[in-house]
Amino acid sequence: KAGVTQTPRYLIKTRGQQVTLSCSPISGHRSVSWYQQTPGQGLQFLFEYFSETQRNKGNFPGRFSGRQFSNSRSEMNVSTLELGDSALYLCASSLFPGSNQPQHFGDGTRLSIL
Amino acid sequence: GESVGLHLPTLSVQEGDNSIINCAYSNSASDYFIWYKQESGKGPQFIIDIRSNMDKRQGQRVTVLLNKTVKHLSLQIAATQPGDSAVYFCAENSLGETSGSRLTFGEGTQLTVNP
Protein backbone atom coordinates (compact mmCIF):
# COMPACT_ATOMS: atom_id res chain seq x y z
CA LYS A 1 0.00 0.00 0.00
CA ALA A 2 1.55 3.29 -1.08
CA GLY A 3 2.16 5.90 1.57
CA VAL A 4 1.44 9.61 1.50
CA THR A 5 3.00 11.17 -1.58
CA GLN A 6 4.05 14.80 -1.70
CA THR A 7 5.27 16.67 -4.74
CA PRO A 8 7.56 18.29 -5.44
CA ARG A 9 10.21 17.22 -2.91
CA TYR A 10 12.21 20.41 -3.26
CA LEU A 11 11.25 23.88 -4.39
CA ILE A 12 13.11 27.17 -4.60
CA LYS A 13 11.18 30.41 -4.91
CA THR A 14 11.83 34.11 -4.44
CA ARG A 15 10.06 36.57 -2.19
CA GLY A 16 6.69 37.71 -3.48
CA GLN A 17 6.05 34.62 -5.58
CA GLN A 18 3.39 32.05 -4.85
CA VAL A 19 3.66 28.29 -4.63
CA THR A 20 1.37 25.28 -4.76
CA LEU A 21 2.24 22.00 -3.06
CA SER A 22 0.49 18.72 -3.71
CA CYS A 23 -0.39 15.77 -1.50
CA SER A 24 -1.87 12.38 -2.35
CA PRO A 25 -3.10 10.55 0.76
CA ILE A 26 -2.92 6.86 1.47
CA SER A 27 -5.55 5.04 -0.54
CA GLY A 28 -8.84 5.08 1.37
CA HIS A 29 -7.82 7.91 3.66
CA ARG A 30 -10.19 10.84 3.47
CA SER A 31 -8.73 13.30 5.95
CA VAL A 32 -5.68 15.35 5.00
CA SER A 33 -3.78 17.70 7.28
CA TRP A 34 -0.86 20.01 6.58
CA TYR A 35 1.96 20.97 8.91
CA GLN A 36 4.91 23.33 8.71
CA GLN A 37 8.22 22.25 10.22
CA THR A 38 11.01 24.74 10.97
CA PRO A 39 14.02 24.52 13.30
CA GLY A 40 12.74 27.42 15.37
CA GLN A 41 9.03 26.64 15.67
CA GLY A 42 9.03 22.88 15.26
CA LEU A 43 5.98 21.18 13.79
CA GLN A 44 2.94 23.43 13.56
CA PHE A 45 -0.54 22.62 12.32
CA LEU A 46 -1.72 24.53 9.26
CA PHE A 47 -5.13 23.08 8.37
CA GLU A 48 -7.19 19.93 7.98
CA TYR A 49 -9.49 18.93 5.14
CA PHE A 50 -12.20 16.32 4.93
CA SER A 51 -14.86 15.87 2.23
CA GLU A 52 -13.43 18.85 0.36
CA THR A 53 -14.09 21.12 3.35
CA GLN A 54 -11.63 22.77 5.68
CA ARG A 55 -12.48 21.50 9.15
CA ASN A 56 -9.76 23.08 11.25
CA LYS A 57 -7.21 25.82 10.80
CA GLY A 58 -4.05 26.72 12.66
CA ASN A 59 -2.65 30.15 13.47
CA PHE A 60 -1.23 31.08 10.10
CA PRO A 61 -1.95 34.18 8.00
CA GLY A 62 -4.42 34.13 5.15
CA ARG A 63 -1.56 33.80 2.66
CA PHE A 64 -1.67 30.10 3.50
CA SER A 65 -4.61 28.31 1.95
CA GLY A 66 -5.55 24.87 0.82
CA ARG A 67 -8.14 22.76 -0.83
CA GLN A 68 -9.15 19.15 -1.18
CA PHE A 69 -10.48 17.41 -4.25
CA SER A 70 -13.17 14.75 -4.54
CA ASN A 71 -10.51 12.02 -4.70
CA SER A 72 -9.13 13.26 -1.33
CA ARG A 73 -5.97 14.66 -2.91
CA SER A 74 -5.05 18.02 -1.44
CA GLU A 75 -3.08 21.08 -2.37
CA MET A 76 -1.83 23.96 -0.32
CA ASN A 77 -0.96 27.36 -1.63
CA VAL A 78 1.20 30.09 -0.19
CA SER A 79 0.97 33.52 -1.79
CA THR A 80 3.31 36.50 -1.51
CA LEU A 81 6.12 34.35 -0.19
CA GLU A 82 8.31 35.66 2.63
CA LEU A 83 11.76 34.53 3.72
CA GLY A 84 10.20 33.10 6.88
CA ASP A 85 8.10 30.70 4.84
CA SER A 86 11.20 28.61 4.20
CA ALA A 87 10.33 25.30 5.81
CA LEU A 88 9.52 21.65 5.35
CA TYR A 89 5.82 21.33 4.57
CA LEU A 90 4.36 18.02 5.61
CA CYS A 91 1.11 16.41 4.65
CA ALA A 92 -0.55 13.72 6.75
CA SER A 93 -3.56 11.55 6.10
CA SER A 94 -5.91 9.48 8.19
CA LEU A 95 -9.09 7.53 7.54
CA PHE A 96 -11.37 10.14 9.07
CA PRO A 97 -10.84 13.28 11.12
CA GLY A 98 -11.06 13.10 14.86
CA SER A 99 -11.31 9.33 14.82
CA ASN A 100 -8.34 8.95 17.12
CA GLN A 101 -6.51 7.10 14.43
CA PRO A 102 -2.93 7.98 13.65
CA GLN A 103 -2.03 10.46 11.00
CA HIS A 104 0.54 9.12 8.54
CA PHE A 105 3.00 11.59 7.08
CA GLY A 106 4.65 12.00 3.73
CA ASP A 107 8.29 12.99 3.40
CA GLY A 108 7.40 16.61 2.79
CA THR A 109 8.22 19.39 0.39
CA ARG A 110 11.31 21.40 1.26
CA LEU A 111 10.55 25.01 0.31
CA SER A 112 13.39 27.51 0.19
CA ILE A 113 12.74 31.22 -0.28
CA LEU A 114 15.56 33.35 -1.68
CA GLY B 1 -1.15 28.44 24.22
CA GLU B 2 -1.24 24.74 24.97
CA SER B 3 1.79 22.76 23.95
CA VAL B 4 3.38 19.39 24.34
CA GLY B 5 6.95 19.51 25.54
CA LEU B 6 9.84 17.12 25.89
CA HIS B 7 12.18 17.05 28.85
CA LEU B 8 15.47 16.48 27.03
CA PRO B 9 16.51 17.64 23.57
CA THR B 10 19.16 14.92 23.23
CA LEU B 11 19.66 11.39 24.51
CA SER B 12 22.69 9.20 23.90
CA VAL B 13 22.63 5.46 24.66
CA GLN B 14 24.71 2.38 23.99
CA GLU B 15 23.49 -0.22 21.55
CA GLY B 16 21.50 -2.87 23.39
CA ASP B 17 20.48 -0.58 26.26
CA ASN B 18 16.91 0.45 26.90
CA SER B 19 15.94 4.03 26.06
CA ILE B 20 13.33 6.19 27.76
CA ILE B 21 12.11 9.38 26.13
CA ASN B 22 9.85 11.64 28.15
CA CYS B 23 7.19 14.16 27.28
CA ALA B 24 5.07 16.51 29.37
CA TYR B 25 1.79 17.84 28.04
CA SER B 26 -0.32 20.68 29.33
CA ASN B 27 -3.76 20.22 27.75
CA SER B 28 -5.73 18.08 30.16
CA ALA B 29 -8.51 17.78 27.55
CA SER B 30 -6.28 15.83 25.16
CA ASP B 31 -7.51 12.29 24.73
CA TYR B 32 -5.15 10.79 22.19
CA PHE B 33 -1.37 10.71 22.04
CA ILE B 34 1.10 9.53 19.42
CA TRP B 35 4.83 8.98 19.24
CA TYR B 36 6.60 9.63 15.95
CA LYS B 37 10.13 8.94 14.76
CA GLN B 38 11.70 11.26 12.22
CA GLU B 39 14.88 10.37 10.38
CA SER B 40 16.91 12.91 8.47
CA GLY B 41 15.27 13.87 5.19
CA LYS B 42 12.04 12.02 5.94
CA GLY B 43 8.65 12.76 7.38
CA PRO B 44 7.54 11.65 10.86
CA GLN B 45 6.89 7.92 11.03
CA PHE B 46 4.17 6.57 13.32
CA ILE B 47 5.53 4.41 16.15
CA ILE B 48 2.74 3.88 18.66
CA ASP B 49 -0.36 5.60 20.00
CA ILE B 50 -2.39 5.55 23.19
CA ARG B 51 -5.84 6.77 24.16
CA SER B 52 -6.47 8.60 27.40
CA ASN B 53 -8.49 5.69 28.82
CA MET B 54 -5.31 3.61 28.89
CA ASP B 55 -2.11 3.99 30.90
CA LYS B 56 0.13 1.59 29.01
CA ARG B 57 0.40 0.15 25.52
CA GLN B 58 3.04 -2.12 24.07
CA GLY B 59 4.26 -2.63 20.56
CA GLN B 60 7.24 -4.35 19.06
CA ARG B 61 10.19 -3.27 21.26
CA VAL B 62 8.32 -0.12 22.27
CA THR B 63 6.08 0.76 25.18
CA VAL B 64 4.18 3.97 25.78
CA LEU B 65 3.19 4.99 29.29
CA LEU B 66 0.61 7.66 30.05
CA ASN B 67 0.25 9.30 33.45
CA LYS B 68 -2.74 11.60 33.30
CA THR B 69 -2.35 12.71 36.91
CA VAL B 70 0.91 14.50 36.15
CA LYS B 71 0.28 14.85 32.41
CA HIS B 72 3.32 12.84 31.43
CA LEU B 73 3.97 10.56 28.51
CA SER B 74 6.98 8.34 27.93
CA LEU B 75 8.31 6.10 25.20
CA GLN B 76 10.44 3.14 26.14
CA ILE B 77 12.53 1.41 23.48
CA ALA B 78 13.95 -1.98 24.41
CA ALA B 79 17.34 -3.19 23.17
CA THR B 80 18.04 0.02 21.30
CA GLN B 81 19.66 -0.43 17.90
CA PRO B 82 21.65 1.98 15.68
CA GLY B 83 18.64 2.14 13.36
CA ASP B 84 16.67 3.70 16.20
CA SER B 85 18.79 6.85 15.96
CA ALA B 86 16.40 9.65 15.01
CA VAL B 87 14.39 12.53 16.43
CA TYR B 88 11.38 11.39 18.45
CA PHE B 89 8.28 13.54 18.84
CA CYS B 90 5.28 13.14 21.06
CA ALA B 91 2.03 14.61 19.80
CA GLU B 92 -1.47 15.07 21.16
CA ASN B 93 -4.81 15.48 19.50
CA SER B 94 -6.45 18.24 21.46
CA LEU B 95 -9.69 18.52 19.50
CA GLY B 96 -11.43 15.41 20.71
CA GLU B 97 -12.62 12.35 18.88
CA THR B 98 -15.39 14.02 16.91
CA SER B 99 -14.05 17.51 16.39
CA GLY B 100 -11.22 16.79 14.01
CA SER B 101 -7.55 16.08 13.93
CA ARG B 102 -5.13 18.73 15.09
CA LEU B 103 -1.88 17.41 16.40
CA THR B 104 0.21 19.52 18.76
CA PHE B 105 3.82 18.37 18.74
CA GLY B 106 6.54 18.51 21.33
CA GLU B 107 9.96 19.86 20.53
CA GLY B 108 11.57 16.51 19.86
CA THR B 109 14.36 14.43 21.37
CA GLN B 110 17.38 13.47 19.27
CA LEU B 111 18.24 9.86 20.14
CA THR B 112 21.76 8.76 19.29
CA VAL B 113 22.66 5.09 19.60
CA ASN B 114 26.37 4.38 19.96
CA PRO B 115 27.64 1.01 18.66
Closest CA to B33 of B85, B105, B108: B105
Q: B101, B105, B109, B110: best mutation site toward chain A, by most A Cβ within 10 Å? A: B101
Is A2 a residue whose pLDDT tops 90?
no
Please indicate if any CB of chain A lies within 8 Å of the CB of B62: no
- Cα–Cα distance between B110 and B86 in angstroms, integer? 6
A33 to B102: CB separation less than 8 angstroms, yes or no: yes
What pLDDT is stored for residue B33 in this prediction? 94
Please indicate if any CB of chain A lies within 8 Å of the CB of B52: no
Q: What is the mean pLDDT of residues A58-87?
A: 97
A39 cis-preceded (ω within 30 degrees of 0): no
The count of other CB atoms within 10 Å of the CB of residue B62 is 17
Convert the pLDDT of each residue in A24-60 to its tens digit. Answer: 999 999 999 999 999 989 999 999 999 999 988 999 9
Closest CA to B77 of B88, B67, B69: B88
Burial class (CB in 10 A: 0-12, 13-18, 19+), A2: exposed
- Residue ranges of chain B with per-residue pLDDT less than 50: 1-3, 6
Backbone angles phi, psi at A105, to 5 degrees: -100, 150
Burial class (CB in 10 A: 0-12, 13-18, 19+), B63: middle
